Structure 1
Amino acid sequence: EAEDVAQETFVRIWRHASGWRQGHARFDTWVHRVALNLCYDRLRRRREWVTDELPEAADEAPLPDAGDEGRRVQQALLRIAPRQREAIVLVYYQEMSNIEAAGAMQVSVDALESLLARGRRSLQAMLIGDGDD
């Protein structure tokens, strides 16, 4: 699905390149928004299909740089609110500035900072709680 979204992103960019206005948004922010919207569209259309075939098994092997701490953070990220996760991923993993991330999410910088604060608190509570096992 990721490959399909990536391909459709570039097709849309090619078809709608004239719609991008320099000075209105950075090109990479616009591209990110196109890809994000396509992901949201796919999630909205997602339906459960009953089939006799088993899906491909996901590779359960840890990523080369993902230790136990990395896995815990990834698990916690999956459990927080989607908009909070999106804000955290854009700022901390994709290294966007708050202004760039707010533009990609189509929210104000204040709203982005609020999402980040709530997301960090949620992650902290989950990670501290998970460490008590």
Structure 2
Amino acid sequence: MTAEWVSSPVPAEPAEAELMRRVAAGEEAAFRLLAERHTPALLRFTDRMLRNRAEAEEVAQEVLFRLWRQAARFDPDRARLGTWLHAIAWRLCLDRLRRRGADLPLDAAAEAADAAPSPLEASSRRADLAALETHLAALPHRQRAALTLFYHQEMEGPEAAAALRLDLRAFWSLLRRGRAALRARMQGG
């Protein structure tokens, strides 16, 4: 006798375009779901750009506030929701960086290691990460944003280009210049 497994279909997550339509209609539950999906990536991006956790959180909150207020303006045929939100975050970060005039100093704490390395390995890794962050912070804002979106946020080139409001060719050029500048800084040149 064979046992047959009866499985009930798992309800699919609502598509982001549908959620945005519901947010535009004022549905708070749809907004909360989108906020839960996108806040971690927005915080990573804004924190890396602004290098100040409190400011990064403020910008991420402003992005979510704009998502709520401007949901009806979102066009899923023009961009993915994550791209649209990162474009808003980029402009808000750029405004703050311009007002600031210069970047804030890098916080000395490095990211925690995934595995439990030896104390010597952990110290070396923290020093390497701190050096990388210091060199990344010294790059022009646009180069830092391109590198962060492409490598840290793992956005595809077209999506990162859209977030920065660049055509794809200009984005690849900016990314190439950013990599070269970072490489030169790290090699001491």
- Normalised to the residue count of structure 1, the TM-score between the two structures is 0.80
1:31-75 deviation per Cα after TM superposition (whole angstroms, max 9, x unaligned):
11112222223334448xxxxxxxxxx863333235222111111
Moved over 4 A (4+): none
Work out which of the two has the higher radius of gyration on C-alpha atoms and give 1 or 2.
Answer: 2
Give the distance between the partners of 1:15 and 1:75, measured in 2 at CA: 36
Consecutive unaligned residues of structure 1, counting only runs of 5 or more, are: 48-57
Q: Is 2:120 the partner of 1:61?
A: no
The size of the alignment, in residue pairs, is 120
Q: Is 2:108 the partner of 1:30?
A: no
Q: Pick from 148, 159, 179 the counterpart of residue 100 of structure 1.
A: 159
| Offset of residue 114 of structure 1 | 0.5
1:117 equivalent in structure 2: 176
1:78 equivalent in structure 2: 137
Give the distance between the partners of 1:45 and 1:128, measured in 2 at CA: 31
Q: CA RMSD in A?
A: 2.0
Identity %: 43
Higher mean alpha-carbon deviation, 62-71 vs 73-82, is at 62-71
CA 1:10–1:120 in structure 2 vs 1: closer, same or farther (change >3 Å)?
same
1:96-125 deviation per Cα after TM superposition (whole angstroms, max 9, x unaligned):
000000000000111111111111111111
1:65-88 deviation per Cα after TM superposition (whole angstroms, max 9, x unaligned):
352221111111111121111101
- Normalised to the residue count of structure 2, the TM-score between the two structures is 0.58
Q: What letter matches 1:8 in structure 2?
A: E
Give secondary structure in 2 for the equivalent of 1:129.
coil
1:129 equivalent in structure 2: 188
Give the distance between the partners of 2:166 and 2:109, measured in 1 at CA: 36
Q: Which has the higher contact order (CA 8 A, sep 6+)?
A: 1
Give the distance between the partners of 2:109 and 2:145, measured in 1 at CA: 25
CA 1:59–1:39 in structure 2 vs 1: closer, same or farther (change >3 Å)?
closer
Q: What letter matches 2:174 in structure 1?
A: L
Give secondary structure in 2 for the equivalent of 1:95.
coil
Give secondary structure in 2 for the equivalent of 1:61.
coil
